[in-house]
Chain A
Amino acid sequence: MFARYNLNKLLPVYVGLFVFMAAVHFLILSLQLDTKPLLAIAEALVFNTILGILGIGLWFLVKFSDFDRVNLTEIIIRHLTISAVTLLIWFGSGYYIMEFISGNDHLYMTQMNQTIIVRLIAGLLLYIILVVVFYLLINYQNLADRKIREESLQNLLHESELNSLRAQIKPHFLFNALNSISSLTITNPTKAQEMVINLSEFMRYSLSFTNEGFSTLSQELRHLRLYLDIEKVRFGNRLVVEEIIQDEAAEWPLPPMILQPLVENSVKHGIYDTPGISTVRLNVLVEGQRMIVSISNNFDPSASGKNGTGTGLSNVKKRLRMIYGIGDLVQVIKNNEIFEVKLSIPHYGKNKGIDH
């Protein structure tokens, strides 16, 4: 609905407008005041050129005045001042230029002096029209801009929501978990029931997930443990999980499901890149204004790294950047046999601003 137009394309329209006004000006002078044609042309050109140039200055004045923030009386006072100055410059300079051009023609200058009031009123009217048109244009432009920004933000949100939805419940994870349950119903029904409940709770949390709002670390950990418990049943003693969580971090706010894809990656790479035992370590501590979450796994550097395309990690980066507006919250450390992802989460206050 709001198309953003190129303002440079409006410049010819602007110039055309003043050419038109100069023509009207000339006609009035010739018909009403019987001014000599050459002087009438000169005057029309001089006065309208000056106004045209002053008008461009006015445009930038209107554009860069933050009229959203000041009240109406202040705006009116400001414009009364600016209009007085503009009219003074306009009429003053026009007057003296014409005095010079006409060679101080007596008849012409007398006429000029007699019509000062009318001219000033006409000038004021033109000033008002210009300013009003400028305000309308800028408002329209801002609206179009905002619309575009909102749309792109919406798209980004939508995309990341889709991505994280896709990232949440991997069909392979689900089917393998169900296969484990199918097996446990025969060998260990109590454990099978336990796993059905874990899986249900995991699914319920995942399905209720939205991209909005904040959850707390302890809520997220509860969810991660459900996931890890399911994976431990699948992989038996090949998967070892170690947690060190600082108590102060328990209620720290963080975006929901932000850790899930990272822990999934850790399990996947740990399990599929090494035939032996793989250890997933989860360390959380508060350091000043940030909560540092470290998720790591051991891996075999000689593996060709076929598993995973890194989309999980890049989604997490994208989401964090969108939410906090800070770019470097994720750090990936890869040394000999440990792959570690470190998140540095700022504290989001109740007013949705970052606390400092």
Chain B
Amino acid sequence: MEKIKVLIIDDEPPARNLVKHYLGTFDNIEIAGECENGFEALKAIQEIRPQLIFLDIQMPKITGFELLELISDPPHIIFTTAYDEFAIKAFEMNAVDYLLKPFSASRFQQAVDRAIERISDKPSELQQPVKDLRNQLAEAVVEIDRVVARLGSRIVVIPTDTIYYVEAQDDYVMIYSSQGNHLKEKTMKYFEAHLPKNGFIRIHRSHIVNVSQIVSVDLYGKDTHLVVLKCGAKLKASAEGYKRLRELL
């Protein structure tokens, strides 16, 4: 049987050493690399194509979660962190397991066994309950304060207050901000739910605007209005969108 390729991503050397040590006892696992931040990890994941990653959450510049957003087809994930408050989000991300530091060898073993099961595609008894939990948790919405996007292997961190507007483009959305235009593999629904409620409004099926960027709202035609932004963009607002806009302004 071919060995499972594993990548360890953590900014603390002793933490990486411990995972490496624990992994030494599994003979069907190959440690393909170690990374100490999200930038290295993005590159390594693209090059090595690991099947399983051990991922810390709090890391320099971009968090483990933000890293995952940049990967279109992420590998299986075991989170390793000292923060217990991110467990919900981790399961939203379809994580195999969530290890709270410091963790024991047996707890680690359990997590890796679960990962191997998933990789070999054997259905686990845990799958269904975890799926249900995930579906419930998907409702829990946390507002974001920045968006991380990718240009090739370059990572761009876009604070939400620098965003002008967000536009639907097929399966993607385009984010127009003071840092340029960036495509992101997310839905409009996601942005509508996660962008700060008092700063962004969905004015149309295909546009969410930053309210602080609005210069004027003019009548355009029957039931439509034209929203003019500081950056010069002119966007149509539907009757529904105009109503939402008026409520907030």
Contacts and interface: CB of A to CB of B under 8 A. Distances in A.
Interface of B: 11-15, 17-18, 21, 36-37, 39, 58-61, 82-83, 100-103, 145-146, 157, 159
A236 interface: yes
B102 A300 contact: no
A174 to B, nearest CB: 8
Given A172-B83, A186-B21, A180 B15 contact: yes
B15 A179 contact: yes
Interface string A287-326: 0000000000000101110100000000000000000000
Given A272-B59, A304-B146, 20 more contacts: A172-B82, A175-B100, A176-B12, A176-B82, A176-B101, A178-B102, A179-B12, A179-B15, A180-B14, A183-B17, A187-B14, A233-B14, A235-B11, A235-B13, A271-B11, A272-B58, A275-B39, A275-B60, A300-B61, A304-B159
A182 B105 CA distance: 10
Nearest to A185: B18
B61 A275 contact: yes
Given A235-B12, A272-B60, A306-B145, A175 B157 contact: no
Contacts, number: 76
Contacts of A181: 102
A300 B14 CA distance: 25
B157 A304 contact: yes
A167 to B, nearest CB: 17
A273 interface: yes
A183 B83 CA distance: 18
Nearest to A171: B82
A211 interface: no
A120 interface: no
A281 interface: no
B61 A303 contact: yes
Contacts of B157: 302-304
B157 to A, nearest CB: 6
A178 B103 CA distance: 10
Contacts of B21: 183, 186-187
A264 to B, nearest CB: 14
A236 B83 CA distance: 21
Nearest to B59: A272
A347 interface: no
A233 B13 CA distance: 8
Interface in A222-261: 233-236, 238
A184 interface: yes
A175 B159 contact: no
Interface in A271-285: 271-275
Interface residues of A, number: 28
A303 B37 CA distance: 15
Contacts of B14: 179-180, 183-184, 187, 233-234
Contacts of A306: 145-146
Contacts of A303: 61, 157
B8 to A, nearest CB: 12
Closest 5 CB pairs of A and B: A183-B18, A175-B82, A179-B101, A183-B14, A180-B14
14 contacts: A172-B58, A172-B83, A176-B12, A178-B101, A179-B14, A179-B82, A180-B12, A181-B102, A233-B14, A234-B12, A275-B37, A275-B60, A300-B61, A304-B157
A300 B157 CA distance: 12
A274 B102 contact: no
Contacts of A300: 61
A183 B11 contact: no
Contacts of A187: 14, 17, 21
B60 A274 contact: yes
A135 B16 CA distance: 75
A306 B100 CA distance: 23
Contacts of B12: 176, 179-180, 234-236
A306 B14 CA distance: 25
Contacts of A272: 58-61
Nearest to B148: A304
Contacts of A186: 17-18, 21
Contacts of B37: 275
Interface string A65-105: 00000000000000000000000000000000000000000
Contacts of A234: 12, 14-15
Contacts of A233: 14
A90 B120 CA distance: 108
Contacts of B103: 179
Interface string A162-180: 0000000001100110111
A280 to B, nearest CB: 15
Contacts of A235: 11-13
Contact of B101 (A175, A273, A304): A175
Nearest to A274: B60
Nearest to B162: A304
Contacts of A171: 82
B15 A183 contact: yes
Contacts of B18: 179, 182-183, 186
Interface in A188-222: none
